[in-house]
Copies of this chain bind each other. A is one copy, B any other.
Amino acid sequence: MDRIRLGVVGLGRGFMLTLPALTGDERIVLAGAFDPRAEARERFAQEFDALAFPTLGAMLGAPDIDALYIASPHEHHAAQAIAAIKAGKHVLVEKPMAVTVADCAAMAEAARRFDRVLVVGPSHGFDAPVRAAAALIASGDHGALRQILTFNFTDFVYRPRRPEELDAARGGGVIFSQGAHQIDVVRRLAGQPIRTVRAVAGNWDETRPNDGAYTALLAFEHGAAASLTYSGYAHYDSDELTGWIGELGRPKAPTAHADARRTLARDEAAAKLARTYGNGAPPPPAPHHEHFGFVLASCERADIRLTPTGLALYADHAHEWRPLDPPAVPRRAVIDEFVAAIHRTSAPIHDGRWGLETMAACAALIESSRRGTDIFPATIIHDALEQIAL
């Protein structure tokens, strides 16, 4: 099959993390890039023998761009994705899919109406341990899935940020950025729609004014439940429970959280820029799988603990360790899903509808915390779909 000629929108941190998956994949050609930083797009053009587009419109008009990978600031995702879809391009968009449920609904509907592929990722729902556990659960060998416990205690709040990343109205805060991962993970494992979301979110540091923590209970349609807890306040580090392997699959120091706060006290804008394309090398290959903290799935006859190196299976009469081969190329599963969808060899799991449902769950989490009651994501989705004007 023909290689897919991919245009990149936004040469920031997201692109840097996915770059090894793109360059390591024989099915993809990095054909062009758009970024407001001229030096970044020129460097990209040179490094990959590709085109540098000064505007998104120019890239959308280029006939030899088949698909776009949108890794721009969150608030631009919707307009860029819809424009790309209308221009006939397939789209891989970073999470969070967009900053409002209405935008996500419009994106999903655009993909449907114009028959283009829309995949939302990467997210930790694509991690190899999650996919392996989801397959094990779906097999039914250990009875129905009944309960998921997951939590992640990170330094997210004190990572370098652009101002809009601290603004919930523009897609900031941990619920859209980090909750979306956790929700993707539990949705993959549960394999059933979310019925209700009950949550309490927390904004604990006035110097970083946004939701930085939450705890939530999700009840699924077919009886399963999931407990999700997150704190980005750089106190406890739950990577202690995954053998000090960090989120991206690399060994990590137990002092990392305290360091995050110290480092941030210096120049935040410069630190943020240093993580983008053209400023420093992409991260080295990771020896272990990416993960999103502690995840334990309880089926009727076994618990399954997900780790960056494999699955621990605690069944009625035997415990079993099921190692997973180390990742050859990180995030390859995302490209697999995108490419297969474009070639129509298999329908994507993380399509526009999936992204919309995860976004609605994030919105339900915020709304539940605000109103102090259960929120039904299906109602949020229904209302958003009714109001679409493409």
Binding site for B on A (CB under 8 A): 143, 146-147, 149, 151, 153, 195-196, 198-200, 202, 204-205, 213, 215-217, 219, 223, 225-227, 229, 231, 233-237, 241, 255, 257-258, 261-262, 296, 298, 300-303, 305, 312, 314-319, 372-374
Q: How far is the CA of A225 from the CA of B195 in the complex (A)?
A: 21
Contact indicator B236/A217 (Cβ below 8 Å): no
Q: CB < 8 Å: which of B231, B314, B373 contacts A236?
A: B314
Secondary structure dominating the interface of A = strand
How many copies of this protein are present in the complex?
A: 2
Instruction: Report B-chain residues with C-beta under 8 Å of the C-beta of A215.
Output: 147, 149, 217, 225-227
Instruction: Report B-chain residues with C-beta under 8 Å of the C-beta of A374.
Output: 198, 372-374
Cβ-closest chain B residue relative to A206: B300
Q: CB < 8 Å: which of B143, B235, B312, B318 contacts A298?
A: B235
Chain B's nearest CB lies how many Å from the CB of A240? 9
Chain B's nearest CB lies how many Å from the CB of A297? 10
Q: How far is the CA of A314 from the CA of B155 in the complex (A)?
A: 12
Contact indicator A146/B373 (Cβ below 8 Å): no
Q: How far is the CA of A147 from the CA of B204 in the complex (A)?
A: 11
Please judge, given known A-B contacts A236-B314, A314-B257, A317-B261, whether A200 and B229 are in contact too, CB under 8 Å. Answer: no
Contact indicator B147/A229 (Cβ below 8 Å): yes
Q: CB < 8 Å: which of B202, B237, B258 contacts A146?
A: B202
Instruction: Report B-chain residues with C-beta under 8 Å of the C-beta of A200.
Output: 147, 217, 219, 223, 225
Instruction: Report B-chain residues with C-beta under 8 Å of the C-beta of A151.
Output: 149, 227
Contact indicator B153/A303 (Cβ below 8 Å): yes
Instruction: Report B-chain residues with C-beta under 8 Å of the C-beta of A217.
Output: 198-200, 215-217, 227
Contact indicator B318/A258 (Cβ below 8 Å): yes
In the complex, besides A195-B372, A227-B227, 8 extra interface pairs with C-beta distance below 8 angstroms are A147-B213, A147-B231, A205-B300, A231-B298, A234-B316, A237-B314, A262-B317, A372-B374
Chain B's nearest CB lies how many Å from the CB of A4? 42
Q: How far is the CA of A373 from the CA of B234 in the complex (A)?
A: 33
Contact indicator A305/B236 (Cβ below 8 Å): yes
Q: How far is the CA of A151 from the CA of B217 in the complex (A)?
A: 14
Please judge, given known A-B contacts A199-B217, A231-B303, A372-B196, whether A319 and B147 are in contact too, CB under 8 Å. Answer: no
Contact indicator B235/A143 (Cβ below 8 Å): no
Chain B CB within 10 A, most for which of A143, A204, A216, A217: A217
Q: How far is the CA of A215 from the CA of B149 in the complex (A)?
A: 8
Q: How far is the CA of A305 from the CA of B216 in the complex (A)?
A: 20
What are 10 A-B contacts defined by CB distance under 8 Å? A146-B202, A147-B215, A153-B303, A198-B374, A199-B217, A217-B227, A231-B303, A235-B314, A236-B314, A258-B318
Please judge, given known A-B contacts A217-B215, A219-B200, A219-B372, whether A229 and B149 are in contact too, CB under 8 Å. Answer: yes
Q: How far is the CA of A237 from the CA of B229 in the complex (A)?
A: 20
Q: CB < 8 Å: which of B143, B229, B316, B317 contacts A227?
A: B229
Contact indicator A303/B258 (Cβ below 8 Å): no
Q: CB < 8 Å: which of B202, B305, B316 contacts A147?
A: B202
Chain B CB within 10 A, most for which of A229, A231, A374: A229
Q: How far is the CA of A373 from the CA of B196 in the complex (A)?
A: 9
Chain B's nearest CB lies how many Å from the CB of A243? 12
Contact indicator B298/A233 (Cβ below 8 Å): yes
Instruction: Report B-chain residues with C-beta under 8 Å of the C-beta of A143.
Output: 204
